[in-house]
């Protein structure tokens, strides 16, 4: 940033030169003179645009001499072209010499990307072709506050000269001066300002550099340099950071360093760039900056930037930190044109070049969470007791956001892609763990890596498209939307529109997550979870949990065209392939592990699923005949299925091995099948409605099959073989009948429109089994996972005027195909009353019962019931809702599955209930939400006659949003998590949580403010921003909700984000969370001494003030007498400007201190090297008109020396460039308290870098 500011001054030190060149290319001055002549002699305002329309008005007199092409106006003629405005009083054109002359004074004004450019000058002379020109004495300024962050009145660069010339794309200003002191405005005399730089010649090379020749520095009228500085140069190339004048500074890793470079290429060059070597006395020779940019006419621009590439190391291998590899390279290509947009970015950097990652690695190593078991370490100075974590490996960040259309010779190809990928998940995980650790209570953030790429070509002849999707969630379960942690999918589709053949293929592999219910989620779940990121324990309470560790499917559909058959009938031939593989996640719920006895299965999150593994594939060829609404299908193929089933299996030896045969039975069946289907899609029956009928008959002939059962075998493929001479027949029939029961629209005298319609569906499925081997009937094995079904669906729609009522009732009866006993029953009701546009009432009820006969008496009973019902009523802007969810399970007389182990299962019953009551009030941009949730779980062990689980979780919450440009948000919640299981190991986690939050946001922005925020958001200078980016950042500022689709990586440290208070014009965010340990409170009766976690946050920003404070306290209790703080820290950040701009004080502070840390610690180190005052950064500055003197102090932990070190400096800044010290003088210490002097040039101590 600082190099970009290097006196952006120059960006037009007389921006004039660049502007003259630009406008001369757009329209020649001779066209302007022609326009004036044609407009008439009463023109004083002339506006010229690309099509050169001219308007003339005003009553002021203008004298125009058409004989010698002269224009004279006492009040001046105003000319406007695009953003350039000019006023001239005496103008003449010489046709023969092809030149234009402006005699006397003239004024120029232009809107530059940085701000307004204004120049007053005399006696100009220009080549009408725009290749060269000159003018006399000048004075002007350029606004740069939007780029540099300067405040008024120090947001301008002032300049002037005796004579200026434009030649060969360069501007030469002779006898020139330059200053940033706003006092120049009084009389345009540089000697009456605080300072100015006087030069014999200033050379401006637009979009490249500014060079000062033979320059003196004046303070008032005094020349304070005894000699003229022969040469000085700084960089004005937008986006370039190559230093063009020697700069130096000091750093713990680098030691003393210096850098100096050069640029090549000019504004019109396709290839341009720069190079600056860098020498560091402790590290060696580096490529400090290398920039290579190439711009094409049609395909956008590519940029390759390299920073601090260590090419020759000075330190030997024993000095581990300084001998690590080091570089930071970034390649980008951006295109925005005829075919759409393409933005590609790739950054590859070593860990030590990403400050937030380096800090996170060192911090986690410091407290022992990164160690030799999950990270690479090196001996430091050959000391095995003082290892250094790997910091020299590299990580790559890939991002792509593109949409290109109209590609190809026929302009029929579209490419869309959005990717966000990395090359090193382990290192990125450390950075994520650090950011998650600092999340506030109730906050949610998601770190997804993804790719979504598609290619499509469509024309009159065919359609072809393909896609690839990839997802890897670095923090699975961190938000309620995390329903998978990893997935990979690809596919393609091709359709020949002429011959009607097609092929479609989809392949997806991954996993599946489900949302945790209110009785499952607990804030202490994060303390009991064994999930980690890069070996670091998760520090968030998950919202979702893994349901299937494998959730794959593949589908292929091939149609070999549609052809004429007999008469107007047609037929088509095709082939389908279907593959499914699903594996249930058997993770235990840590709150159930220690309270449930003699039942391993019921300790799991996903205990209700019987099938824990399902693998099925089917190959099916078919031919379909169609005539009007009649279809005949003939098909045949093969199937293979493998199912691991645990129906009736609850208790077994605990094992982490998925092949634990005690936990399930395995069924494998292969078959060949033949199928015939006949359907009539529509029978028209007049007033009796319409009827559709469909039937299907399938015959499976089994060729192979067996089951694994521990009553038959222990290991190997010695399961029970089944007959290969058996078969099954599946019959299906479906009927759909729709009839209008009443309709009075024919009656002209009706008092209201009344209509009643009924739609009824019925589906039946039935299996039959036969075998030629009467002595080996294996119907149970073949049909174990097949069901006979009877399904009834009915929908009644009643319309009365503007009201509408829809009633749906569904009933499904399921029976086991092998014995025709009931296995399930589903009842569903739903009714929607639309009374009018403002009154809507909905009621629903669903019950799903499961039946089993897996008990000693083979008695069929209801072992599991799911019940859901609720009501939702909307009246005007009011919404009332209630939801209930129930789960009832019963386990009786279960036989030990494996008699060798004799693991018996206790009889038990369990009832889970959840109630949610809510109210939402919407009025304009305001919203009120009240909600109460209660989730309970009661489990009783009948065999042992004791309660195993008795929990009740309650959540009360209220929130109110007072919306608009000025927004207030209030939220309060009280959460109670209570278990009375008579188990100390579980009851010690009982807690309640109080959470209070208030946010205030002023989102009103001026256009100038919007540009400033957009520049910060996209890390661009204002003139690089597109309108799309401005519009998008406007929406971001209105609602900074997490964008899960963002392709940008946030590599800032958490503290960097806290110090930046620019999300809104004015904002306040404050919250407090208190989590009380219920058991501890019962023992002590002291609320404050029973808090196991406390979190307080305050962030405020307004105008020139910003403050942030965070307090975290975590305590640990083992349920006995030991209660201790495991974390207790304060973090304070302050950024304030006090007093009148340019005359006040500026304070910037970051402090992190620990308060009595007594947590669980390593035996080798009792405090992990942490101190009470663990990190400090303070900068205090006093403004003196146009400059500032500041004292900066930093004290932080240095991992290389294993101690705290400090730096202090007196720094000088020009207020026009508030982020870049011009120079600094100071000192620094090491861990041995040795102090040495330190100097800076165009560098200094930055408080933003403290962590």
Task: Calculate mean pLDDT across residues 332-340.
Answer: 93
Say what the pLDDT of residue 393 is: 94
Query: DSSP E strands: which ranges in 220-376?
Result: 222-223, 229-235, 247-251, 255-259, 262-264, 271-280, 284-295, 301-313, 328-337, 340-350
Least confident stretch, 574-583, 615-624, 632-641, 1207-1216: 1207-1216
CA-to-CA distance for 344 and 402, rounded, in angstroms?
Answer: 8
Overall residue count recorded for the chain in this entry = 1251
CA-to-CA distance for 266 and 168, rounded, in angstroms?
Answer: 11
170 vs 471, residue with greater confidence: 471
Say what the pLDDT of residue 383 is: 59
User: 892-944: per-residue pLDDT in tens?
Assistant: 888 776 555 567 889 999 999 999 999 999 988 899 999 999 999 999 999 99
pLDDT surpassing 80 at residue 211: yes
Per-residue b or e along 1154-1177, where b marks 16 or more CB atoms closer than 10 Å to that residue's CB = beebeeeeeeeeeebebeeebbbb
Task: Calculate mean pLDDT across residues 270-275.
Answer: 95
Say what the pLDDT of residue 1011 is: 72
Given a contact cutoff of 8 angstroms between Cβ atoms, the answer to whether 575 and 558 are in contact is yes
| Residue % of the chain over a pLDDT of 70 | 82
**What is the SS3 assignment for 699-752?**
EEEEEEEEEECCCCCCCCCCCEECCCCEEEEEEEEEEEEEEEEEECCCCCCCCC
Instruction: Show the tokens assigned to 478.
Output: 């961190």
Task: Calculate mean pLDDT across residues 1068-1091.
Answer: 89
CA-to-CA distance for 1058 and 1109, rounded, in angstroms?
Answer: 9
Q: How far is CA 88 from CA 33, 63, 444, 455, 570, in A?
A: 12, 13, 60, 56, 82
Q: What is the dihedral of CA 516, 520, 522, 525, to 10 degrees?
A: -80
CA-to-CA distance for 609 and 518, rounded, in angstroms?
Answer: 20
Say what the pLDDT of residue 660 is: 60
CB proximity list for 297: less than 8 A, separation 6 or greater = none
> Which long-range contacts (C-beta less than 8 Å, at least 24 apart) are formed by 372-378?
373/535, 374/534, 374/535, 375/535, 378/320
**DSSP assignments along 5-16, one per residue:** HTTGGGGGTTTH
Query: DSSP E strands: which ranges in 1157-1215?
Result: 1173-1184, 1187-1198, 1203-1214
* Residue 1042: pLDDT band with limits 50, 70, 90: very low
Backbone angles phi, psi at 137, to 5 degrees: -55, 140
| Residue % of the chain over a pLDDT of 90 | 43
Say what the pLDDT of residue 829 is: 97
Given a contact cutoff of 8 angstroms between Cβ atoms, the answer to whether 419 and 1047 are in contact is yes
Can you give the residue ranges of every domain in the chain? 2-235, 354-518
**What is the SS3 assignment for 653-702?**
CCCCCCCCHHHCEEEEEEEEEEEEEEEEEEEECHHHCEEEEEEEEEEEEE
Which stretches of 769-927 are DSSP H helices? 779-782
CA-to-CA distance for 951 and 397, rounded, in angstroms?
Answer: 46
Which residue is listed with tokens 């401006």? 204
Backbone angles phi, psi at 1006, to 5 degrees: -80, 165
Task: Calculate mean pLDDT across residues 1230-1238.
Answer: 77
pLDDT surpassing 80 at residue 1021: no
CA-to-CA distance for 476 and 148, rounded, in angstroms?
Answer: 40
Q: How far is CA 212 from CA 191, 274, 713, 798, 1222, in A?
A: 19, 19, 92, 86, 17
CA-to-CA distance for 427 and 395, rounded, in angstroms?
Answer: 7
Say what the pLDDT of residue 251 is: 83
Statement: the pTM of the whole predicted model exceeds 0.75: yes
Instruction: Show the tokens assigned to 1137.
Output: 């400007």
Q: Which of 399, 480, 397, 489 lies closest to 1046 in space, CA to CA?
A: 399
CA-to-CA distance for 897 and 712, rounded, in angstroms?
Answer: 11
Radius of gyration of the chain (CA): 39
Residue 790 bridge partners (DSSP): 764, 813
User: 687-745: per-residue pLDDT in tens?
Assistant: 889 999 999 999 999 987 666 554 443 333 445 556 567 899 999 999 999 999 988 87
Instruction: Show the tokens assigned to 419.
Output: 């990717």
Q: Which of 131, 126, 121, 156 lies closest to 141 in space, CA to CA?
A: 156
* Residue 52: pLDDT band with limits 50, 70, 90: very low
CA-to-CA distance for 1136 and 1105, rounded, in angstroms?
Answer: 4
User: 576-624: per-residue pLDDT in tens?
Assistant: 999 999 999 999 999 998 899 899 999 999 999 999 999 999 999 999 9
* Residue 343: pLDDT band with limits 50, 70, 90: very high
CA-to-CA distance for 1089 and 1115, rounded, in angstroms?
Answer: 10
Say what the pLDDT of residue 1060 is: 38
Instruction: Show the tokens assigned to 37.
Output: 């002549």
pLDDT averaged over every residue in the chain: 83
Instruction: Show the tokens assigned to 1.
Output: 């940033």
pLDDT surpassing 70 at residue 531: yes
């Amino acid at each position: 940033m600082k190099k970009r500011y290097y006196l952006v001054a120059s960006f037009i030190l007389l921006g004039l030169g660049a502007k003259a060149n630009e406008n001369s290319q757009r329209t020649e001055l001779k066209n302007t003179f022609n326009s004036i002549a044609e407009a008439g002699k009463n023109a004083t305002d002339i506006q010229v645009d690309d099509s050169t329309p001219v308007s003339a008005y005003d009553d002021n007199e203008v004298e125009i001499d058409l004989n010698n092409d002269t224009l004279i106006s006492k009040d001046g003629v105003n000319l406007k072209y695009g953003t350039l405005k000019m006023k001239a009083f005496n103008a003449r054109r010489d046709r023969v010499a092809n030149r234009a002359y402006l005699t006397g004074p003239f004024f120029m004004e232009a809107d530059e990307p940085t701000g307004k450019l204004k120049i007053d000058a005399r006696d100009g002379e220009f080549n009408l072709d725009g290749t060269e020109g000159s003018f006399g004495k000048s004075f002007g300024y350029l606004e740069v506050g939007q780029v540099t962050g300067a405040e008024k009145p120090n947001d301008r660069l002032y300049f002037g000269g005796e004579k200026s010339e434009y030649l060969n794309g360069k501007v030469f200003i002779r006898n020139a001066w330059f200053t940033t002191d706003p006092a120049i405005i009084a009389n345009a005399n540089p000697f009456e300002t605080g300072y100015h730089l006087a030069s014999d010649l200033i050379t401006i090379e637009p979009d490249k550099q500014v060079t000062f020749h033979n320059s003196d520095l004046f303070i008032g009228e005094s020349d304070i340099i005894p000699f003229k500085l022969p040469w000085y140069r700084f960089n004005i190339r937008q986006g370039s950071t190559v230093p063009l004048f020697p700069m130096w500074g000091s750093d713990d890793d680098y030691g003393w360093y210096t850098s100096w470079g050069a640029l090549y290429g000019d504004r019109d060059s396709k290839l341009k760039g720069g190079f600056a070597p860098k020498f560091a006395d402790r590290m060696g020779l580096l490529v400090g900056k290398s920039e290579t940019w190439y711009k094409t006419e049609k395909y956008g621009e590519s940029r390759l930037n390299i920073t601090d590439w260590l090419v020759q190391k000075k330190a030997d291998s024993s000095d581990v930190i300084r001998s690590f590899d080091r570089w930071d390279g970034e390649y980008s290509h951006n295109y925005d044109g005829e075919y759409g947009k393409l933005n590609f970015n790739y950054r590859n950097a070593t860990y030590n070049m990403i400050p937030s990652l380096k800090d996170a690695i060192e911090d986690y190593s410091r407290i022992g969470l990164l160690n030799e078991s999950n990270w690479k370490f090196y001996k430091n100075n050959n000391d095995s007791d003082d290892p250094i974590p790997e910091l020299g490996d590299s990580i790559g960040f890939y991002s792509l956001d593109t949409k290109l259309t109209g590609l190809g010779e026929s302009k029929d190809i579209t490419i869309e892609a959005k990717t966000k990928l990395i090359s090193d998940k382990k290192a990125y995980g450390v950075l994520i763990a650090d950011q998650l650790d600092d999340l506030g209570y109730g906050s949610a953030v998601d770190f997804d890596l993804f790719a979504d790429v598609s290619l499509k070509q469509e024309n009159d002849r065919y359609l072809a498209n393909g896609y690839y999707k990839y997802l890897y969630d670095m923090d699975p379960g961190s938000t309620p939307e995390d329903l998978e942690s990893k997935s990979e999918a690809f596919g393609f589709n091709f359709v020949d529109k002429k011959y009607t053949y097609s092929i479609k293929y989809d392949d997806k592999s991954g996993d599946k997550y489900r949302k945790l219910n209110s009785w499952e989620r607990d804030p202490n779940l994060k303390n009991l979870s064994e999930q980690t990121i890069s070996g670091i324990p998760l520090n968030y309470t998950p919202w979702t949990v893994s349901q299937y560790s494998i959730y794959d499917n593949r589908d292929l559909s091939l149609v070999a065209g549609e052809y004429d058959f007999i008469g107007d009938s047609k037929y088509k031939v095709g082939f389908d392939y279907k593959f499914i593989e699903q594996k249930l996640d058997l993770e235990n719920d840590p709150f159930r592990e220690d309270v449930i006895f003699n039942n391993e299965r019921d300790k799991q999150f996903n205990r209700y699923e019987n099938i824990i593994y399902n693998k099925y594939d089917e190959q099916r060829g078919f031919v379909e005949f169609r005539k009007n609404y009649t279809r005949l299908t003939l098909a045949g193929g093969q199937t293979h299925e493998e199912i691991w089933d645990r129906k009736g299996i609850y208790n077994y030896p605990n094992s982490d091995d998925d092949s634990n045969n005690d936990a399930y039975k395995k069924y494998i069946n292969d078959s060949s099948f033949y199928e015939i289907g006949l359907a009539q899609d529509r029978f028209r029956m007049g007033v009796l409605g319409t009827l559709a009928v469909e039937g299907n008959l399938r015959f499976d002939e089994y060729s192979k099959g067996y089951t694994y059962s521990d009553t038959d075998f222990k290991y190997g493929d010695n399961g029970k073989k089944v007959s290969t001479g058996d078969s099954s027949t599946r019959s299906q029939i479906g009927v759909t009948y729709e009839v209008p029961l009443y309709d009075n629209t024919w009656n002209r005298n009706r008092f209201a429109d009344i209509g009643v319609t009924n739609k009824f569906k019925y589906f039946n499925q039935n299996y039959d089994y036969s075998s030629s081997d009467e002595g080996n009937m294996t119907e149970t094995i073949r049909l174990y996972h097949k069901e006979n079904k009877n399904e009834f669906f009915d929908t009644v729609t009643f319309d009365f005027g503007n009201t509408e009522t829809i009633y749906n009732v569904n009933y499904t009866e399921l029976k086991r195909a092998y014995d025709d006993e009931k296995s399930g029953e589903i009842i569903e009701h739903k009714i929607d009353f639309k009374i009018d546009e403002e009154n809507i009432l909905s009621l629903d009820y669903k019950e799903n019962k499961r039946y089993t006969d897996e008990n000693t008496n083979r008695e069929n009973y209801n072992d599991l019931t799911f019940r859901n019902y609720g009501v939702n009523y909307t009246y005007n802007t009011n919404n009332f809702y209630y939801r209930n969810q129930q789960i009832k399970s019963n386990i009786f007389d279960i036989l030990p599955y494996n008699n060798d182990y004799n693991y018996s299962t206790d009889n038990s019953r369990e009832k889970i209930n959840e109630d949610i009551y809510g109210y939402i009030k919407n009025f304009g941009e305001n919203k009120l939400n009240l909600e109460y949730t209660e989730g309970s779980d009661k489990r009783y062990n009948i065999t042992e006659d004791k309660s195993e689980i008795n929990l009740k979780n309650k959540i009360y919450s209220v929130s109110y949003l007072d919306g608009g440009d000025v927004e207030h948000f209030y939220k309060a919640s009280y959460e109670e998590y209570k278990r009375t299981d008579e188990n100390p190991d579980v009851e010690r986690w009982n807690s309640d949580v109080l959470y209070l939050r208030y946010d205030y946001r002023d989102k009103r922005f001026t256009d100038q403010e919007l540009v400033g925020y957009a520049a910060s958001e996209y890390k661009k200078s204002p003139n690089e921003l597109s309108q799309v980016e401005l519009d998008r950042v406007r929406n971001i500022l209105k609602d900074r909700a997490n964008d899960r689709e963002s392709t940008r990586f946030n590599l800032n440290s958490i503290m960097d984000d806290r110090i930046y208070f620019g999300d809104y014009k004015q904002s306040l965010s404050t919250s407090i969370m208190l989590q009380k340990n219920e058991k501890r409170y019962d023992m002590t009766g002291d609320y404050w001494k029973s808090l196991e976690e406390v979190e307080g946050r305050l962030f405020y920003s307004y105008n020139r003030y910003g403050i942030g404070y965070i307090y975290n306290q975590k305590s640990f209790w083992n349920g006995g007498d030991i209660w201790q703080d495991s974390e207790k820290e304060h973090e304070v950040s302050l950024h304030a400007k006090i007093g009148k701009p340019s005359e006040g004080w500026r304070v910037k502070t970051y402090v992190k201190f620990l308060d009595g840390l007594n947590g669980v610690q390593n035996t080798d180190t009792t405090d992990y090297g942490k101190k009470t005052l663990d990190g400090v950064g303070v900068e205090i500055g006093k403004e003196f008109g146009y400059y500032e003197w500041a004292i900066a102090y930093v004290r932080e932990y240095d991992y290389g020396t294993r101690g705290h070190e400090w730096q202090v400096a007196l720094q000088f800044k020009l207020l026009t460039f508030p982020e870049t010290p011009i120079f600094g003088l100071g000192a620094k210490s090491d861990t041995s308290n040795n102090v040495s002097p330190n100097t800076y040039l165009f560098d200094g101590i930055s408080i933003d870098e403290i962590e």
